[in-house]
Each structure stands twice: as structure tokens, then as C-alpha cells.
Structure 1
């Protein structure tokens, strides 16, 4: 997985993958339209991105992307060489779901769902915080396996 992408770029790539999968679903159903929200394709994708921490040890980022009504079943972890690092915050979708994080350790997998809309773009928000003393000039490398 490439970890040099921004959150926006990583979600744009995922959005393109989901839109392509939805078009294939439509073509195989031969209905000419998407028939139901919460599509399920029995597929997965890897998403990786970096988030730069500010001097307070915080990062907040959001992006709006069209994801064709898929519910994203995510397993995510933050890579770090610092075993003492603790991460708190949240990952949310404007269409529901997400997770609140409290003192998550590096490389500890967390599982959550992010529903998306068939009818409009979905806003994805990531807000994370680490203790300021551990934040100086750091970026968090986030990796996710997304099933849809």
C-alpha cells in the first residue's frame, strides 16, 4: 500500500473504484439504473494515507466523495514505531456509522462501518489526537482494508 497519499487522494481513488463497481452492477442487472441503496459487491480495496499532526498533536481532515451507496466495512490501523503512542479521535461518515477512538495503540486494528449514499456525495471526517509531546513534526500513517 502506498502511504504517501493524502486523505483526500486516497478517498478519491476509493470513490472511483466504488463508482466503477456500481456501474458493473448496473450493467449486469441490465436495469439501466441503480436499483437499491447499500449495494454489496463482495470486494475489497486497500486504502493508505498520511495525516500531518499540528503542534498540539491534532489533525482534522474531511473529504466529500460519491461512493455509490456502498456500506464500507473497514479495518484500520495506524502504523508507528513508537509503542507508547496513544491515539484518540473519530472517523465518521455523513451518512452514519464510524467509530470513536480512545487510547488506541499503534498497529491495533479497529473495525467500523461507514454507510454511503446512493443519491449524493458522502462526507468522510477524520479527527485524531496524540499527546503533544509525541507529535512534534510527525505524520500518522493510516492503513485501511475496506470491504464493500
Structure 2
């Protein structure tokens, strides 16, 4: 079976690009800079289901995203999570957190309702993220 993005992720996010392994999604919630990496591997829900080379590649892509977002947004803390309780498709959240954000110091889930970006702000955020992610040799913006 071929890779297909989960409908919930398609609904809640905007696909902005691809790394060698992972599709890069921007969560459509202007409360937090929030990227999600989704390995383009069909029918997996856990990191251990990836091959060892894929696991290493996901770790490298994820670390790159964490560092790039931390620097770009001057985050107080970077949160990373692969829960999968609501959406079983393997996906890894990368959220820039700030001491004055809506959910600080707790997790972002369930604290406040998502607030979608305006069309202009979404375009600006996508441009900003694609610029910093383009420093990775395998990244391709869409």
C-alpha cells in the first residue's frame, strides 16, 4: 500500500514540504509555531516500525527541525511528541513554546481551541519556515 496522509492531519495542517523521509506539515494554529513530520511510509504507527536507517533519518530530520525552529522563533523550550492516540499514522510534533503562550507550562493539547492562521499570516509563516528548512540538504518546499 502507498503512503497516504491521514485525513485528520490533512484537515488540521498545511503540507509545506518534504525531507528525504518525512512530509512536513504546518499545524494550522496560530497560537504556536508547530511543525509535524510524517514519515512517508505506509501503514505504520510507531517509530520502531521504521527500518533502522529510517529511524536514524527521522531522528536527524527531527533534530534539524527542533534546532531550526528554536533559533528562528527564539523559543523558550521546544516540545517534541509522537503520541498517535487520536491519529494512528506515525507523526512527530515539533512545537516552539514560550513562557507567555496560551498553554504554558502544560502541553498544548486541550488547553485552548486552535485558531487558524489568516490567509496572509499563513503565507508569511510558510515562507519563513521554508526559508529556514531549506538549509537542510534534502528539504524541498512545495
Query: TM-score w.r.t. structure 1 length?
Result: 0.28
Higher-helix-fraction structure: 2
**Higher-RCO chain (CA-CA 8 Å, sequence separation at least 6):** 1
Higher-strand-fraction structure: 1
